[in-house]
Amino acid sequence: MTVAIYPGSFDPMTHGHLSIIRSGLVVFDKLIVAVLRNPRKEALFTVEERVEMIREELAGAGDVEVDSFDGLLVEYCRRKNVRVVLRGLRAVADFEYELQMANMNRHLNTEVETVFLMANDAYFYVSSNLVKEAARLGGDVHRLVPPGVARRMTERLGPPRTGA
């Protein structure tokens, strides 16, 4: 059985993330969606809320485990006995950053390989940070995130001030 870890902050989960997960389930037998606890980032949702939203969205999506972790990704991989990290790419800027991260992870643990998958081209411009910024400024982001995430964003930030 081939298992991969798809790590990220997922704050919030977007349709771009879902695109990578769906593609990952074609390539791998099982995915572990791992929510990073990163105290340096100002999060809109707690790690527990993010894990819950992801579980709700992925119910019935295949062999997917949703978990959280802190510290080094390669140490989390070692604890889970997984040797493959799945990362999504959107634009050239992503590739440069992701290549640096993959090489650092390889330096820290030579047994961990990183596999890159392209996000669906309908969502190549979508990032969690852009979604949060637009929503905080009153923009309507419901087409960029799953319905449950959109509902929770509205509860947290208020309804969009612009038309749908």
pLDDT in tens, 82-132: 999 999 988 777 788 899 999 999 999 999 999 999 888 777 778 898 999
Reply yes or no on whether 132 is catalytic. no
Residue type, 153: M
Asked if the structure places residue 106 within a domain, the reply is yes
Asked if the structure places residue 80 within a domain, the reply is yes
Quote the CA–CA distance of 108 and 84 in Å, as a whole number. 14
What is the pTM (predicted TM-score) of this model? 0.92
Residues 77-99, buried b or exposed e (16+ Cβ, 10 A)? beeeebebbbbbbbeeebeeebe
Structural domain including 28 reads: 3-124
Reply yes or no on whether 17 is catalytic. yes
Asked if the structure places residue 130 within a domain, the reply is no
**How many structural domains does the chain have?**
1
Asked if the structure places residue 86 within a domain, the reply is yes
Asked if the structure places residue 158 within a domain, the reply is no
Reply yes or no on whether 142 is catalytic. no
Supply the CATH number for residue 93's domain. 3.40.50.620
* Pick from 94, 95, 155: nearest CA to 127: 94
56-86 per-position pLDDT tens digit? 999 988 899 999 999 999 999 999 999 999 9
Reply yes or no on whether 9 is catalytic. no
Out of 9, 128, 132, 152, which one is annotated catalytic? 128
Out of 41, 79, 143, 156, which one is annotated catalytic? 41
